[in-house]
Structure 1
Amino acid sequence: MARAFLPAQQAFSPESGLLSHLLANFDGLVYRCLADSNWTMQFLSEGCMGLTGYLPGDFIANATISYEELIHPDDRSRVRDIIFDALRRNERFSLEYRIVRRDGAVRWVWERGTGIRDAHGACFALEGYVQDITQRKAAEDALQEAERRYRSIFENAIEGIFQSTSDKGYLAVNPALARIYGYDSPQQMIDTLRDLDRQLYVDPQRRVDFLQHMNGQGAVINFESQVYQRNGNVIWISENARAVRGPDDAILFFEGSVVDITERKAYEAKIRFQATHDALTGLPNRNLLRDRLEQALLNARRGKHLAAVAFIDLDQFKFVNDSLGHELGDELLKMIAGRLRSCMRAADTVARQGGDEFVIVLGNHKDCKTVEDTIGRVIEAVSRPWMARDLELRITCSVGIAVYPNDGDNAETLLRHADSAMYKAKELGRNNFQYFSADMNQDATERLGTLNALRQALANDEFVLHYQPKINLLTGAVVGAEALVRWRSPARGMVTPNDFIPLAEESGLIIDIGAWVLRTACAQAMAWRQEGHGGRDALMVSVNLSPSQLMRDDIVDVVAGVLAATGLPPRLLELEITETVVMRDIEKSLDKLARLKMLGIRISIDDFGTGHSSLNYLKRLPVDILKIDRSFVNDIATDEDDAAIVKAIISLARILNLDVVAEGVETEAQRRFLMENGCDVGQGYHFSRPLPAAAFASAWLALPGETAGTGRLAPAR
């Protein structure tokens, strides 16, 4: 490669000094060489030393090294091809390649030159210049690496990355964003989405908000919106973006990132729903109920309308739940929830208060007539029959209503008053509704006080048993005694069962009270037996088994444990079970009664005739006694229908080889009718009121060699 060849006659011209000075200060080297296989040098400027580490003389005529050897081995062939190709086309050449310095360092150089031709046009030499571009190449490499890394991040990022304008859609998007929006490629998305306001955002106002943030603040952080995917599906996204501005501070474009937060939003919605809705029925729970009620009251105040709260409690749900199982109980609650929803307007709210209690918020009513119409539909809907395990079952509800503003002006008061009215509906026979009245506050307070006192009664030994004799109607002899619990309250005096047993059933206290009654009655019967009362066979004691007790899985173990603890022979214990409870789950009842019978006790069906027994089931029940309900005994002497029913029950018992007991016998005419029609045993005020244990023994039980008191033959009024 020839370097600045000067004719010999000019070598010592004044201008040559100027030229040498210029070449010495050139950043690189200037050369002239022959166009031969080794690029034999004829001239190199002083910059040769700084660039290559060799003196110019080392290259002249290849004295020490040829320039060809200086070129990096991997680049030599390419360099020669590029130069000779340019020479063939009679063009200047420009190229970049590596050289290996004398010290072994590799440097990048840029060379630019041209061919020197003779009079015939043949190229015989080259001349040009070479500069060190190592730093520039390093900077370019670093830039390329940075670009490569950025491109890798851009192309492979999990989150979407974009550049967009305010009015012309997207300038650039990465594959992740295209996937998020449902497009096959970034270019397809760029070509398709040109009107982001309408094509992308579900709510165009969100695009307006985005642009306002960008224009005012220059950025958005966690900006959440709903957008359409290509197929029309709606997803949630979160954007972080900034505005890129030009020298005049005008916005050139936006750039940022997008993540799909649809799953997170769904999870958040699920959490919010769970926080405000009942997990079983999907109805609003107490938290949302309070909010809906407050809103209904606010609307009622503004519009001067009525707002009503209806408190609904399912009648006897606990027995269904206990007898048929919690799984079926849950299905019942879900079914009831659906029926309640079907009775509501869109503006009304039905919520689950807890357990088997529901609350309805009725807003924007003109008068109580429309409220009553809604509640009437609710009661009818709840009471429709439903099928469970091939059985057609019915359940009813009791409803209490409190109306704004007459019954209260805030949510808490209205709920409390509706609850009080619901209890009144239960007291009046269930399956009805009652409006709140002022005296219910006193009833509710008394009820709460009774419940609190009842919780302490067992611990304070406040219960006592009275015994009512069962009399052989033919001989007048006592054949047994029914144990009846009384509550000897320090504050209320002697409380009869009707005043506390229903509350004990509802609160669950009946389990402990019933167990106490069973233990105490068996212990007393054993004591009478040991004292010799009642003769050789002693006295049979009968105990009422509550529905809650019978439904418990451990009832057989409880009874067996009491018999073992007291020593009472099983044949001297009779358990009275109501007909309705037995028929609630006949298969389960059959199993438990059979296991109880295996203990050796006797079983009586109490209140017979008031339930729905079928002869098919009755003949399968392992029972010993039918007990005629007092409602049929009251008028047997004067009412032909009652007389016929009692005769039929007695005949049925005879067919099934069962004993018959009539309760509620209060007159001699009743006693005589029962005796003449074949009833075995009677009990009632005609013979004796229930008596404390000592008084009962004195009046009705005789020790060996003694005669019982006059009470045995004289009716106690």
Structure 2
Amino acid sequence: MKTAASPAFQDQGNSSVHSIPRSPRLLETLLANLDGVVYRSRDDERWTIEFVSEGCLELTGYLPEDLLLNQRLSFADLIHPDDREMVRAHVAQCVAARRRIDVEYRISRADGETRWVWARGVGIYGAGGKVEALEGFMQDVTERKEAAQALQEAERRYRSIFENAIEGVFQTTPDGTYIAVNPALARIYGYRSPEDLIVSLRDIRHQLYVEPERRNEFMRLMEERGQVSNFESRVYRRDGDIIWISENARAVCDEAGNLVCYEGTVEAITERKLYEAEMRHQATHDALTGLPNRNMLHDHLQRAINNARQKGGLTAVAFVDLDQFKFINDSLGHQVGDELLKTVAQRLQSCLRDSDMVARQGGDEFVLVLQNQTGGEAGIAEVMQRILAAVSRPWQAGDREFHITSSIGVSRYPTDGKDVETLLKSADSAMYRAKEQGRNNFQFFAPWMDSQVSNRLEMLISLRRALDQQEFKLFYQPKLSLKDGSIIGAEALIRWESPEQGMISPDRFIPFAEEAGLIVPIGEWVLRTACRQNKAWQDAGLPPVPVAVNLSPRQMNPALPDFVADVLAQSGLAAAWLELEITENVVMKDAEKTVAALHALKRLGLQISVDDFGTGYSSLSYLRRFPVDALKIDKSFVRDIARDADSAAIVKAVISLAHILNLRVIAEGVEDEEQHAFLKENGCDEVQGYYFGKPMTAADFTRRLGEEAGRLGEAR
């Protein structure tokens, strides 16, 4: 090793302390074994090295002779360029004040790697007080420095997460006071700042929880399990409003196992709870009228039958059908038709006792369940007359007045049936008899009315003829992007052009086709026709858009994926341009079979959407199991979003949560600018409805696509 002798490292005398002889070899061995570098440099511009120990190579990658007298580089050159000014200033200050040099900085090794070092040293002063040299020791502290920096970064990230988290984060004492909270929790609880919350909210059990026993339950779970998960409670905000929250928390103990505090997170779930309550309501109630739906009707009627069987008494079922509803609905539009249905629902309720029930069966059909009727048939007849009179009262639509009537069929337990289905079927048959008698009347069921089955047979024959003679037509309703208003799809909608009855809407024949099993061949015809038409549009050079086709529950079978693949192959349409719509109830009915069929369909490359979302009883979290691409918000929610806070909250929640699951959101039934603006403002992706275009023939939709192509061309 090449070194320069340094007075600082020589024997300075022969005192008893230094009586043991020192040899240069011993000194070199000691220096070589140090974990670092001992050095002596001149106090010049380049800090010229006069001595450097063997540790130089390991630390810097340079041999000692490379630095001695600046043969290859100087000590100043070794320091990282960004740190040189700082180091020189520090050394100058220490030398001037005769203080020990103590500084950390970076060096650039011979291999280009940057390392952190810790340098300690002193100035060597001559007799006149002038600095003659600098001597010191330099050690690699890269690992410690990086560990410290990593700790600082981790603390910074933790603080950032804590301060910027969407969820509330807290620490509380076991006796119920807050130690630390983040800004999100303060916002959730309505406080100006975390400090304001900590100072003001001193008793969690009584100040926060609406039901203080929930805090007791929280504490019980903590004692038993040491944690709580998804702990839902109602709590007070500072302004007194009540909200729902969900907590996840754990007990924190010290090394001795003593409880120190509780810490966890809080999520505001009020919108979700409202949505779940609405979903439960939708499972048993009609979205339009608020009346019980078929599910609740069947349960209530079964209880009424059980009660009559045990205690006696007369129970009657009345099937009410509006006589002129189709005319009003088709002439004035669905919005007016919906208002009429809500009015009729209110009038029917006004005619019944609290123990009776009125339910909406579907369309313009209502079912009444009358329990413990006194006076026999005469008493029932009196109620029916009251209903006929109430329904037929004048009804105002805009500046026009209408008189709508109803036809009612009545069945009785146990005379006309001993179970739910038989009683409903008998009342339905009696209702058809009332229509045959000129409408605006009621009829009690009689056994001979079962001959009306022949009328249904005629409908069956007509539907089969319609398939054979191509009486069905497909109409197409455009779907628009809320981002730029462009047409991005269409929904194929079936119509029946009967030679005898003219254009028949699907509301009239689809339910019967479902019941009779004809919906499968009809659905297959719709799919083939829609795919061929879409391919024809593409071949004509029109902008390609996906066409959506509704699937019936009866079509959801194991053979469906192969059939769809055959239709695509025969039409030549790429799967990407086909979208299949299934209803929410289909998804939830047989989850295991449905998910298998949907996965098989997705492997073809097509899109799948859930239609009429919100009218059944499912949840977005449950839908994560299904390979769907989009949700269609049912028009019953869209209708009132600009006027009804509950509908608006539900729609917002569906849009937000669907986007979390990476699902597109389509709103149907958009009929005015208020609805359009609300949906656009809240991030809905697509819309369809009369406001943008009614269902139209293939020829009209062809022209619409042509206009779209021209608009896009001009935009370019």
TM-score normalised according to structure 1 size: 0.48
Specify the structure having the higher radius of gyration (Cα): 1
TM-score normalised according to structure 2 size: 0.48
